Amino acid sequence: MTAKQVIESGKAILGIEFGSTRIKAVLIDPENKPIAQGSHTWENQLVDGLWTYSTEAIWYGLQDCYADLRKNVMKQYDCEIETLAAIGFSAMMHGYMAFNEKQEILVPFRTWRNTNTGKAAAELSELFNYNIPLRWSISHLYEAILDNEEHVPTIKYLTTLAGYVHWQVTGQFVLGVGDASGMIPVDPKTKTYDAEMVRKFDELIAPKGFSWKLLDILPKSLNAGENAGFLTPEGANKLDVSGHLKPGIPVCPPEGDAGTGMVATNAVRQRTGNVSAGTSSFSMIVLEKELSKPYEMIDMVTTPDGSLVAMVHCNNCTSDINAWVNIFKEYQQLLGVKQETSDLYGTLFNIAAKGDPDCGGIISYNYFSGEPVAGLMDGRPLFVRSATDKFNLANFMRAHLYGAIGVLKLGNDILFNEEHIRVDRIMGHGGYFTTPQVGQSMLAAALNSPISVMSTAGEGGAWGIALLAAYVVNNHDNLSLADYLDQVVFAGNTGVEVRPTAEDVAGFNKYIENYKRCLPVEQKATECK
């Protein structure tokens, strides 16, 4: 069928993901190929010292994104979306959305970006003997309890952004297991919330006398491929204000952006991994077994089908590179030189590839904000060199590319060097990899592992959640999610692989030793400005 026939016959599948700066919709055909897309740009707001998006912004953003998709379909195919084979919603993980019994939000949505949960996260990590990050939902809940916030006794529902949207358009209070694992740890054996940790938490808060226990307020955890409900008439109107979209469409379990990134890069099988490198960065390594002990640098979550994943999350990645590229862009404009910004990135990335493997001794800290993995709660972008370092453009740019993934290396060195984790394949996706092979080779040197990039990785999380929606309705052979992705979606496509050279690995190791040694300089900079 043509794309138009697919849409008109109701066989297209829709994925929508709420990112931190953009809401994106991707429409795919039965062969899993994108055929239309829409988007909406938004920004979080700092309200009473906490980062949030209003519920009004959430629904306006969703509706505007879907309207943009409709426009794209009409422009390309001159037809209307009346029904779909399936829908999936995903969003940035973690955070805190608490509601009363009337489904009214009790406090503004607290996003993953908030770091006011330090005391709660530390106490829970000790209680569970498990690393509980600041951004996890359980940290936000317990911090609200410690702070005696008046809304806590009236909580009836607690969920994430993806869970909230799904709940409101289907009536089903559920969550995909990957997103659920960012609320409170999930037991990979049962693929639901860890029973022992739930028991410990309930005992911890029992003296407060709340009418609820933890499982009373959390969404039901669902595995990829499970039935998660159908679009209700009210949900159809919330999504498509034009009134064309019909209810009754199957909706897959809502997932977090980490899970959809794993799906979009075919990295859900054990001994695979992926690295997302854009404004922020994170690596996801799917484990064969649990780690020997908890590490503050490493978060434990799961794939959308419940396999244990070691996650290294970094708050900063390419922002400092972007800032320096803009400086070069200004200089070009002063000279009257015209070059597309994308070409300028390519020029500077390619010159970085010619720099010394250790950047000539130069160090770059890309900390626009704090980096918990590096032990810093605040950040200052900082460029460090001595008079004897080899200071030239190639080393300058290479140092910034290394600096963008320096923190990622700190966390992954624990996995590979201390825990001796084995990985067969790591996929890269995000803006860091846009210039062919340059970012790949840098990351390969940092992790001492082959890195592959696929052209489809640029489709991102909206495509990933669309694939999870397709898995619900098109998995006719009852394949596992890993087999479905391998055999049906990617069909043997493993992307373009770059292997590290011994010289580059040694150079990056020398760079990271300098990097760690000079971290006190970065710390001092945060204290002085």
Round to whole Å and give the CA distance between 313 and 311: 6
Distance CA 315, CA 258 (A): 14
Distance CA(205)–CA(212), nearest Å, equals 10
Strands (E), 278-356: 281-286, 299-302, 308-314
Only one residue has tokens 């590490």, namely 295
pLDDT given at position 279: 82
3-state secondary structure of 89: strand
> What does the pLDDT read at residue 372?
81
Residue 460 scores a pLDDT above 90: no
Within 8 A by CB and 6+ apart from 326, the residues are none
Mean pLDDT of 160-170: 98
> What pLDDT is recorded for position 458?
60
pLDDT at 457 over 60: no
* Tens of pLDDT, residues 330-382: 999 999 999 999 999 999 999 999 999 999 999 999 999 889 888 888 889 99
Average confidence score pLDDT of the chain: 95
Rounded to an integer, the average pLDDT of 220-241 is 98
**Which pLDDT score, from 0 to 100, does residue 280 have?**
84
> pLDDT value at position 243?
97
- The residue whose two tokens read 């469409």 is 249
CATH ID of 267-453+499-529, from 3.30.420.40, 1.10.287.1080, 3.30.360.10, 3.30.70.60: 3.30.420.40
Spatial distance between the Cα atoms of 270 and 288, rounded to a whole number of angstroms: 6
pLDDT for 456: 66
Flag whether pLDDT at 132 surpasses 90. yes
What is the rounded distance in angstroms from the CA atom of residue 477 to the CA atom of residue 393?
Answer: 54
- 529 pLDDT band, cuts 50/70/90, is low
Residue 461 has pLDDT above 80, yes or no: yes
pLDDT band at 68 (very low <50, low <70, confident <90, very high): very high
- 112 close to 92: Cβ distance less than 8 angstroms: yes
**The tokens 């204000």 sit on which residue?**
241
Can 3-256 and 267-453+499-529 be said to share one CATH topology?
A: yes
Q: What residue segments make up the domains of the chain, in order of their start?
A: 3-256, 267-453+499-529
- Partnered with residue 221 across adjacent β-strands are 175
Where does residue 64 rank: exposed (0-12), middle (13-18), buried (19+ CB within 10 A)?
A: middle
Residues contacting residue 51 through CB under 8 Å, at least 6 positions apart: 44, 45, 110, 111, 113, 114
- Tell me which long-range contacts 50-57 makes (C-beta under 8 A, separation of at least 24): 50/108, 50/110, 50/114, 50/116, 51/110, 51/111, 51/113, 51/114, 52/108, 52/109, 52/110, 52/111, 53/109, 53/111, 53/161, 54/108, 54/109, 55/105, 55/109
CATH of 3-256 among 3.30.950.10, 3.30.420.40, 3.30.300.10, 1.20.1050.10: 3.30.420.40
How far apart (Å, rounded) are the C-alpha atoms in residues 210 and 198?
15
pLDDT digits (tens, 9 = 90+) for 267-311: 999 999 999 888 888 899 999 999 999 998 899 999 999 999 999
State the Cα–Cα distance between residues 331 and 339, nearest whole angstrom: 12
Helix (H, G, I), strand (E, B) or coil at 492: coil
pLDDT in tens, 98-118: 999 999 999 999 999 888 999
Which of 2-6, 92-96, 311-315, 360-364 bottoms out in mean pLDDT, i.e. has the lowest? 311-315
Q: For residues 248-257, give the mean pLDDT.
A: 97
Q: What is the DSSP letter of 67?
A: H
For the whole prediction, is pTM greater than 0.85? yes
pLDDT in tens, 413-447: 999 999 999 999 899 988 899 899 999 999 999 99
- Report percent pLDDT > 90 for the chain: 90
Q: What is the pLDDT of residue 20?
A: 86
